[in-house]
Structure 1
Amino acid sequence: MEIIGSEKRTMGSGIYLIIDPSMDESILLNKLKLCLREKLAAVQIWDNFKDDQNIIELINKICEQCHAKNVPILVNNRWELLNSSLLDGVHFDVIPENYTQIKGSVIQPFISGLTCNNDLTHVEWASRNKLDYISFCSIFPSQTANSCEIVNFSTIHDTTRNYGLPIYLSGGIKPENIHQLDELKYTGIAVVSGVMSTNKPNESIRKYLEKLNKK
């Protein structure tokens, strides 16, 4: 197993791709390979594993593909997998009660992020605990982010004014509505179905990047 040591990969700007590990493995890995032809900020593995999966084996296959392009890989919620895989970090959907204990339990430096909504106490917690980034969900109505409330743009404005955290935006964002985000300052956008549900996901990413580059 690769040892990261005292250094950790860093997330970039642009597209933060979220993938579903319950997808057929060969289809998932082939689509990911296509996605990696384009520039990605990071990849997150959604916490949606199948009961009969060899989770560590699948995670490491994903990590090896992404690390070849120096793209960091995070897992959704399942921080305990950090010690037994090539993962670079964890994204929490809610504030973990035992974050100090988690940091002490993980044997290497890791990227950490948190989903935030209109409650700025979540942003304050992420800032106080020195998380690497936050993700606001949901920006627009979305089937894949249907558990998230719609985030007010004023909340994001307040965050950029008062906190130095990198911000990713998630939920219902498509190439045709990215222009509606022009008033916001953000590092990148998180996408799921807008890319992975297509047969040519690299072309979908390219369309997003073209719009982002015009921002």
Structure 2
Amino acid sequence: MNKEFKKIKGGVYLVLDPASLDDGKLKKVRQALDSGLAAIQLWNNWMDVKDRAAVVQYVVKLAKPFQVPVLVNENWELLTETDADGIHFDQPSQNLSLIRGAIGRPLITGITCGNNLDNVQFAIEQKMDYISFCSVFPSGSANSCEWVQPATIAAARAMSDMTIFAAGGITAQNLPALLPTGLDGIAVINSIMKAEDPSAVTSQFNQILQQQKIN
């Protein structure tokens, strides 16, 4: 297995539903990779998927030429069976140190955060690599998240210099309103996976985020 360690940076973080992946969706992933992704996460929805490890490995292989890290969501056992680069938690895990020890290689770790900053503090204490706020706008794919206020993201930025993503209903039209919070990137699903031209959408998001750094 490839032990090369990748770091997660700001930009566009693509979340995939592994249960719905097909040739058409994988083509969209390739197009997004061509335009620059920060990371790919395989959401913990494996309904009717017979070989989970094979799906993870396929996405890892797809992302490898672009040096884009691939993370699994919650299901840490997949880290023992694949070359996935890390894990994203929905809630704080008291077993994080044990997981790191069991895997025996550097891992990228991140966690979903809401308006309560407890998860941010957990991420800081556990020396995690990034946090992702959900949901910043109403979204059909993020309906399990609370609506996060921009002030919360700004408060997290004041607490830490770790990479911060925002997720939920983000489009090229509403993204500029979030830039003053100090975020580094966005986590998206439908904006790319339902786009007619995923490459163009990814490029547009990256341009908007890059402009923030220039300013």
Match for residue 184 of structure 1 among 181, 184, 197? 181
Counterpart of 1:3, as a letter, is N
> How far does residue 41 in structure 1 lie from its aligned partner after superposition?
0.6
Does 2:54 correspond to 1:57?
yes
Q: List structure 1 segments (4+ residues) > 6 angstroms apart after TM superposition.
A: none
Counterpart in the other structure of 1:3: 2
- Whether the aligned pair in 2 keeps the contact of 1:12 and 1:40 (CA below 8 Å) is no
Counterpart in the other structure of 2:13: 16
Identity, in percent, stands at 35
Over aligned residues, Cα RMSD in angstroms? 1.4
1:1-215 equivalences under 5 Å are: 2-4=1-3, 7-215=4-212
**Which structure 2 segments of 5+ residues have no match?**
none
More helix by proportion, 1 or 2? 2
> How far does residue 89 in structure 1 lie from its aligned partner after superposition?
0.3
> How far does residue 72 in structure 1 lie from its aligned partner after superposition?
0.4
Secondary structure of the residue aligned to 2:112 is strand
Please, what TM-score do these two structures have when normalized by structure 2? Answer: 0.93
CA distance in 1, matches of 2:204, 2:95: 40
Deviations along 1:157-214, whole A, 9 cap, x unmatched?
Answer: 2111122221011111100111111321011100101100123211221222232233
Counterpart of 1:48, as a letter, is N
> How far does residue 51 in structure 1 lie from its aligned partner after superposition?
2.6
**Which structure 1 segments of 5+ residues have no match?**
none
CA distance in 2, matches of 1:166, 1:31: 25
- Whether the aligned pair in 2 keeps the contact of 1:90 and 1:113 (CA below 8 Å) is yes
Counterpart of 1:143, as a letter, is G
**Residues 53 and 26 of structure 1: CA distance in aligned 2, closer, same or farther (over 3 Å):** farther
Report the number of matched residues.
Answer: 212
- Whether the aligned pair in 1 keeps the contact of 2:9 and 2:163 (CA below 8 Å) is no
**Residues 22 and 199 of structure 1: CA distance in aligned 2, closer, same or farther (over 3 Å):** farther
